[in-house]
Amino acid sequence: MSDWTPEAGTPPVSTPDEPVDGESAAEAPSFEPAGPAPLGVVRTPTGHAAVDARLERLADADHLAADGHIEVYEDVHRGLRAELTSLDARPAAVPGPPGSAAAPGTPSAYDNTHDHRS
């Protein structure tokens, strides 16, 4: 227990539970974190359905607390990376009729090698 008392003429000290300068409890500042709120970022469609679907997934972060955003961002990043990787993959050669460019090593009707004698 303390024997300290304020000097005469000193204004009283308020405790954190008491309103400051006559504020009501409803007007007192809150130290609780704010709830999730949409950022209002417009996502413009790209025209590529798979990419647009991944970008729409970003809207899920609007309803999560900040510590939940990382999971959404990582998921979208993985999906976009997979889409880009699929663009780099070369399509398999489609076999065509003999002599076409799709079947290498087969003589063409327009073979210009110098094996022809005149």
Taking only the tens place, the pLDDT of each residue in 17-70 is 555 555 565 677 878 877 777 777 788 899 999 999 999 998 888 888 888 899
pLDDT at residue 73 greater than cutoff 90: yes
Band (pLDDT 50/70/90 cuts) for residue 110 is low
* pLDDT given at position 43: 83
DSSP codes joined into one string, 56-105: HHGGGGGGS-HHHHHHHHHHHHHHHHHHHHHHHSPPPPPP-STTSTTSTT
- The predicted pLDDT at position 77 comes to 96
- Say if pTM beats, i.e. exceeds, 0.85: no
